């Protein structure tokens, strides 16, 4: 897998509130602007989504793909491509949550490989936009601001 893009933000809420928003995939288009739709295809024995189909429009990266999710208790979730899109060959990522003074620190890590040639600098910029937009949207959604 290629270079990873990582960023963190502190959300003024407890871990359960933050994780509930992360797990509410059908609401992603409301707060994660680059996602146009998110459909839960399967849930695991814990009732959490395990397979989700997304429609993404992040400027230079527009695609439909399916991700498989692995939940690590109440403080982390990992994902990987289960069904590739036309542009997206590989995608791995994670949210890691940690209690901090004043709320929860959320760290988002993402690595993408495209099926089409793209200058590395442009691809990293697109990853950074996806990560930063998601973190800011998550914070706003959880805090209700």
List, as one string, the DSSP characters of 75-137.
Answer: SEEEEEEEE--SSEEEEEEEEEEEEETTEEEEEEEEEEEESS---HHHHHHHHHHHHHHHHHH
Cβ of 141: how many Cβ atoms within 10 Å? 21
Could you count the other beta carbons within 10 Å of the beta carbon of residue 22? Answer: 22
Cα→Cα distances 2→36, 94, 110, 134, Å: 25, 15, 10, 20
Quickly state the pLDDT bin for 66 (edges 50, 70, 90).
Answer: very high
44-58, 106-120, 130-144: segment of lowest average pLDDT? 106-120
The predicted model scores a pTM of 0.84
User: What share of the chain has pLDDT > 70, as a percent?
Assistant: 87
pLDDT value of residue 127: 67
Burial of 85 (0-12, 13-18, 19+ CB in 10 A): buried
User: Does 31 have pLDDT greater than 80?
Assistant: yes
**72-120 confidence digits (pLDDT tens):** 989 999 999 999 988 878 889 999 999 999 999 999 998 877 766 655 5
Q: What is the mean pLDDT of the chain?
A: 87
């Amino acid at each position: 897998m290629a270079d990873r893009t990582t960023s963190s933000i502190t959300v003024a809420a407890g871990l359960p509130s933050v994780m509930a928003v992360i797990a509410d995939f059908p609401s992603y288009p409301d707060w994660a602007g680059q996602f146009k739709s998110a459909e839960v295809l399967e849930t695991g024995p814990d009732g959490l989504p395990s397979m989700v189909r997304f429609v993404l429009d992040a400027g230079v990266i527009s695609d439909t793909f399916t991700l498989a999710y692995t939940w690590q208790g109440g403080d982390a979730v990992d994902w990987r491509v289960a069904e590739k899109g036309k542009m997206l060959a590989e995608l791995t990522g994670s949210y890691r949550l940690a209690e901090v003074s004043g709320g929860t620190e959320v760290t988002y890590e993402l690595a993408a490989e495209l099926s089409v040639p793209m200058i590395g600098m442009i691809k990293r910029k697109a990853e950074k936009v996806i990560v930063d937009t998601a973190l800011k949207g998550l914070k706003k959604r959880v805090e209700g601001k």
